[in-house]
Structure 1
Amino acid sequence: MKVLVIFLVFCCLQASLACYCSLDHPQKKFCKADYAIRGKIISKEKVYPHTNPTIAPTSETTPSPVVNFAEPVGFGPVGFGGMAENPSLPGDSKRPIAIKYFVRVEKIYKGKDLMPEKKVEIITPPTDSLCGITNLEVDSVYLLSGRKWEDDLRIETCGWIAKYDDLTKRQRQGLKKTYNNCDDCQIQLCYGPYCPTKLQESLCMWDSSGLFEDCEGKYAHCMENKRGKCVWNGKSDYKACKAKREAEKDARLP
């Protein structure tokens, strides 16, 4: 019986520490971020508290200063969702309090004033359950978008993090130009029959029932048309994707 109680408590604790992110279009993630770059991961290290100087980081660099993830990091109420609470107990110097990535900046899409150097340090919470990005590969090139809190550049699961080679042509164009429209139109999630049928003045409705083939996320951006209505704008690949989605939807109907 005691074992069962302990197991249930452990499961509840794990659930309470789980990372939760709202579903967002890439354009909305770009607009929420303080910066967005294309960067190559040079190296990474775990950051430990200074309470035990014998605990060494995972690279040959000098130990990093303490990063307090118990403070708000800007990803919660102001935009990205998720949680950022340091799970390490006071004096628990054997558990990392952050992961630090050393990044060579190849291209800046947003936040040029936050990138004074070609090489930057970006930190993230130490575990997946705290919305940390723990699996970036050294020598790989990524799109990294995140927030700045105090003097730190930060990334978390709820931001837009992806291998650059995995981005579609339209997403890359969005980073360079079309995603910069963050004021005229907003992207609102809706579901199937509950989505408005008429165009909205300030909203592009993103139907989550069609995300099995995410045409808007991969091939379109939200913009204001000449009539002042917000619409999804895309080219031939967007139209082809929508046609395929509709055909698959009809095929599933009884």
Structure 2
Amino acid sequence: MTRYVSSCFFTLFVLFLWRVEDIAEACRCLPQHPQQAFCDAEIVIRAKVVGKKAVSNNIKYDIQQIKMFKGCDQVIHAIFTDTTSCGVTLEINKEYLFTGKLETGRMYVTMCGYNPSWENLSAAQKNSLTRLYKSGCDCKIIRCTSLPCPISTSAACLWTDLGTDNGQNLACIKREDGSCAWYTGMAQPKK
């Protein structure tokens, strides 16, 4: 029996070493509310992908910028993404919403960002991009995977429906009293 147990441990150890590289390269990110992605990003644009080319350790996607929601005054002509597991794969001739960072004059996006195709955004999300998300960046959206979830500040909204699209159609907005609440687009959040 001891020889069998030793053999099992040795096999498991070899399998573990074989997978260490894959595990180390895995991209780990938690689901992010669209508003939090907007607020955390340096640049948020709507753009159409028109070309693709490998550049060093990156993929360069040539784009036609349609609208700048947040960021710099310059027009972005290309988006860069990593060639590892954290990089995004985009389709040519398709429009996307990109949330990313600006590094050395280049816009970078990752799988951990929020980069859905434009056609998959709801009307509420598209509306929130132009006015609501920015006004709620002083609020914090707290993920809650199982109740109860404590909130230590009134300047936060609790995001409890991670597995559905419902919460993604809401915006967390600061109220007059300084607290934050979910806004549906119908009426301002009450005190």
TM, length-normalised to structure 2: 0.83
Structure 2 counterpart SS, 1:105: strand
Q: Confirm whether residue 124 of structure 1 aligns to residue 75 of structure 2.
A: no
1:185 matched residue in structure 2: 139
1:160 matched residue in structure 2: 114
Contact 1:199 1:229 in 2 (8 A): no
Cα distance between partner residues in 1 of 2:152 and 2:124: 23
Q: 1:178 to 1:200 in 2, by over 3 A?
A: same
Q: Could you tell me which amino acid in structure 2 is paired with residue 13 of structure 1?
A: E
1:174 matched residue in structure 2: 128
Deviation, structure 1 residue 206: 1.1
Deviation, structure 1 residue 4: 7.4
Higher RCO (C-alpha 8 Å, min separation 6): 1
1:105 matched residue in structure 2: 65
Cα distance between partner residues in 2 of 1:199 and 1:216: 21
Q: Could you tell me which amino acid in structure 1 is paired with residue 171 of structure 2?
A: H
2:19 matched residue in structure 1: 11
Q: Confirm whether residue 205 of structure 1 aligns to residue 158 of structure 2.
A: yes
Percent identity, aligned pairs only, is 30
Deviation, structure 1 residue 7: 4.3
Deviation, structure 1 residue 152: 1.8
Alignment RMSD, CA only?
2.3
Q: Could you tell me which amino acid in structure 1 is paired with residue 46 of structure 2?
A: R
1:227 matched residue in structure 2: 177
Deviation, structure 1 residue 9: 1.9
Deviation, structure 1 residue 235: 4.2
Q: 1:45 to 1:124 in 2, by over 3 A?
A: same
Q: Deviations over 1:10-45 (max 9, x none)?
A: 212101110011222110000011111110111001
Structure 1 counterpart SS, 2:163: helix
Q: Deviations over 1:87-107 (max 9, x none)?
A: xxxxxxxxxx11000000011
Deviation, structure 1 residue 147: 0.1
Q: 1:226 to 1:5 in 2, by over 3 A?
A: closer
Structure 2, unmatched stretches of 5+, are 1-6, 187-191
TM, length-normalised to structure 1: 0.64
Which structure features the higher share of strand residues?
2
Deviation, structure 1 residue 167: 0.1
Cα distance between partner residues in 2 of 1:183 and 1:168: 20
